[in-house]
C-alpha cells in the first residue's frame, strides 16, 4: 500500500536529510533583498546568474564580523543549511562572512578605513602638533615586557627631565579595546589640569593582524581622534600600519622611535640654547654700542647743546623775575598796611563812644534808639547810655516831656 505523508512529515524528513548533509558549506554570491530589522539579525538573498539562496546572519555573527553589508556586494559566506518549515524553504545560516574571498579582518580593516576616510579622521589639518619640550609624557601600553622598558631607556638617555605616567593596558585580546579607550579618557578627563601629560604614547610590540586587531577598531580610532592631548601611535613594526597609526597625530614605526619623537635630545637642546645665548649677547652688545654712538653724536651736536644754553638764560630771567616779584609784593603790602591804618582811624572817629565821652548821651527804647521827643513820649521806660555806663528811666508824663517829667529809675 502506498505510504501517504503529511506536509509536516515530509518537510521534517527533508529537513533532517538536508541539514545532516550540509553542515559546513562555503558559498560565493551577490547580496540582494538586504534587510536589517530591529532584532539585529540580517536577512538577505545570495544569488548568481542562475540561482538564489536565502541567507540569515544572526546578530552576534554580524557584530563579530564588523562588516557593512549592502545590496550588490559580493561576499563569501560560510555556514550550514537549515530548513524553515513554516515557509517550506531552506536557507543558509551564516557563521562567518568575508568580502570577495579576503579574510574577515582584512575586509573589516578596508571598510573601516573607507568609513573613517569619509569622516575626515585622517586629514592632516586635524592633527595636533607635538610639544617641543614636554614636561610630562603619558604612556598607554603593557606594564610588563620590552616596550615600556625601551621607552624608558630612550627618554632617560635623551631627556631625563621628563616625567613618565604609565597607564597599563592589555594590548591584545578582548579586553584591549576597552583598556585603550579608558586610558585615553583617563589622561584627557580624569586628571587635574596641571597634572595632565603634554603628549601620549600608545604602544605595543608588533604582532600578527589578529594581534593588532584592537588597534584597528573604530572605538579606538574615535578615542584617539577626540583626544585633546597629542597622541603618538607606535603599534607594531615598520611594515604594520594600523587604523590607530593613521588617526594619531604622529606615527612611529616602533616604541623606541616614538620615545625619540616625543622628547628632544637634551644635549642638542643645551647646544641650541648656548648658540641662542651667544647670538642674543652679540645682538644686544651691537645694539648697545650703536645706541651709545648715537647718544655721543647727539650730545656733541649744536642742536643738542643750544637748548641747554637757552635753558640757562631762562633760569637767569626767572631769578630776576623772582626778585622783582618779591620787591613789588613787599611794596604793595606796605601800601595796604598804610591804607588799613587810615581806614581804622576814620572808623575810630565815627565810633559813638567817643561822642559819648564828650558829654553826650543816647536814649534807647524797648526796640530802638529814641531820637525825638515824640518817640520818647510813646515809651513807658527807657535807658540812657553814657560813656561809662547806662541808667534806666521811667517816663511819668506821656503827654508832655521835659526835664522834670523824667525820674531816675530806682
Residues 76, 96: contact at Cβ < 8 Å?
A: no
- pLDDT of res. 199: 97
- pLDDT of res. 400: 45
Q: What is the 3-state secondary structure (H, E, C) of 63-84?
A: HHHCCCCCCCCEEEEEEEEEEE
- pLDDT of res. 161: 92
Q: In which element (H, E) is residue 137 found?
A: strand 136-141
Asked whether the CA dihedral 385, 386, 392, 396 is positive or negative, the reply is negative
- CB neighbour list of residue 26: distance below 8 Å, 6 or more residues apart: 76, 77, 78
Which long-range CB contacts under 8 A does 179-186 form with residues at least 24 apart? 180/140, 180/214, 180/215, 180/220, 180/223, 181/219, 181/220, 181/223, 183/140, 184/140, 184/223, 184/224, 184/227, 184/231, 185/223
CA separation for the pair 169, 10 (Å, rounded) = 57
Residues 31, 68: contact at Cβ < 8 Å?
A: no
- pLDDT of res. 352: 75
Rg, Å, the chain Cα set: 57
Residues 150, 255: contact at Cβ < 8 Å?
A: yes
pLDDT by position in tens, the chain (length 410): 678 889 988 999 899 998 898 999 999 888 889 999 999 999 999 988 789 999 999 999 988 877 788 887 888 899 999 998 988 889 999 998 887 644 556 777 888 899 999 999 999 999 999 999 999 999 999 998 899 999 999 999 999 999 999 999 999 888 999 999 999 999 999 999 999 999 999 999 877 777 888 999 999 999 999 999 999 999 866 666 899 999 999 999 899 999 999 999 988 888 888 889 889 988 998 999 888 888 888 777 766 667 777 788 888 888 888 888 988 888 888 888 888 888 887 777 777 777 788 788 888 887 888 888 878 877 878 888 888 888 888 877 654 444 433 444 44
- pLDDT of res. 37: 94
Counting runs of H as helices and runs of E as strands, what totals does the chain give?
A: 12, 14
CA separation for the pair 366, 30 (Å, rounded) = 136
CA separation for the pair 138, 258 (Å, rounded) = 12
Distance of CA 230 to the CA centre of its chain: 17
Q: What is the 3-state secondary structure (H, E, C) of 205-270?
A: CCCCCCCCHHHHCHHHHHHHHCCCCCEEEEECCCCCCCHHHHHCCEECCCHHHHHHHHCCCHHHHH
CA separation for the pair 307, 35 (Å, rounded) = 97
Quickly tell me which residue has 597622541 as its cell.
231
CA separation for the pair 373, 397 (Å, rounded) = 12
- pLDDT of res. 406: 42
- pLDDT of res. 348: 74
- pLDDT of res. 72: 79
Angle between helices 218-225 and 176-185 (to 10 degrees): 10
Amino acid at each position: 500500500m502506498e505510504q501517504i505523508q503529511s506536509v509536516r512529515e515530509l518537510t521534517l524528513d527533508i529537513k533532517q536529510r538536508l541539514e545532516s548533509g550540509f553542515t559546513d558549506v562555503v558559498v560565493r554570491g551577490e547580496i540582494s533583498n538586504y534587510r536589517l530589522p530591529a532584532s539585529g539579525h540580517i536577512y538577505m538573498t545570495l544569488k548568481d546568474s542562475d540561482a538564489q539562496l536565502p541567507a540569515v546572519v544572526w546578530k552576534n555573527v554580524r557584530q563579530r564580523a564588523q562588516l557593512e553589508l549592502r545590496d550588490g556586494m559580493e561576499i563569501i559566506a560560510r555556514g550550514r543549511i537549515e530548513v524553515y518549515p513554516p515557509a517550506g524553504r531552506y536557507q543558509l545560516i551564516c557563521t562567518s562572512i568575508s568580502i570577495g574571498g579576503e579574510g574577515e579582518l582584512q575586509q573589516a580593516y578596508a571598510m573601516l578605513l573607507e568609513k573613517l576616510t569619509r569622516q575626515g579622521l585622517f586629514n592632516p589639518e586635524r592633527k595636533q602638533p607635538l610639544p617641543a619640550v614636554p614636561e610630562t609624557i603619558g604612556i598607554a601600553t603593557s606594564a610588563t615586557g620590552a616596550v615600556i622598558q625601551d621607552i624608558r631607556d630612550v627618554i632617560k638617555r635623551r631627556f631625563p627631565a621628563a616625567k613618565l605616567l604609565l597607564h597599563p593596558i592589555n594590548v591584545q585580546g578582548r579586553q584591549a579595546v576597552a583598556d585603550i579607550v579608558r586610558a585615553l579618557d583617563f589622561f584627557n578627563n580624569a586628571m587635574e589640569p596641571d597634572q595632565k601629560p603634554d603628549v601620549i604614547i600608545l604602544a605595543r610590540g608588533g604582532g600578527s593582524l589578529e594581534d593588532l586587531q584592537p588597534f584597528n577598531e573604530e572605538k579606538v580610532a574615535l578615542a584617539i581622534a577626540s583626544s585633546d592631548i597629542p597622541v603618538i601611535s607606535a603599534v607594531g613594526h615598520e611594515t604594520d600600519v594600523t587604523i590607530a597609526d593613521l588617526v594619531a597625530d604622529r606615527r612611529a614605526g616602533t616604541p623606541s622611535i616614538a620615545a625619540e619623537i616625543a622628547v628632544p635630545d637634551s644635549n642638542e637642546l643645551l647646544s641650541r640654547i648656548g648658540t641662542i645665548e651667544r647670538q642674543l649677547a652679540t645682538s644686544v652688545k651691537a645694539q648697545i654700542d650703536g645706541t651709545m654712538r648715537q647718544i655721543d653724536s647727539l650730545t656733541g651736536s649744536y642742536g643738542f647743546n643750544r637748548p641747554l644754553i637757552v635753558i640757562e638764560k631762562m633760569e637767569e630771567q626767572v631769578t630776576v623775575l623772582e626778585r622783582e616779584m618779591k620787591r613789588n609784593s613787599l611794596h604793595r603790602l606796605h601800601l595796604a598796611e598804610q591804607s588799613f591804618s587810615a581806614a581804622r582811624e576814620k572808623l575810630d572817629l565815627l565810633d559813638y563812644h567817643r561822642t559819648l565821652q564828650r558829654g553826650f548821651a543816647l536814649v534807647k527804647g524797648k526796640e530802638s534808639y529814641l531820637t525825638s521827643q515824640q518817640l520818647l513820649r510813646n515809651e513807658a521806660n527807657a535807658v540812657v547810655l553814657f560813656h561809662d555806663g547806662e541808667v534806666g528811666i521811667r517816663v511819668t508824663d506821656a503827654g508832655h516831656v521835659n526835664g522834670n517829667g523824667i525820674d531816675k529809675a530806682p
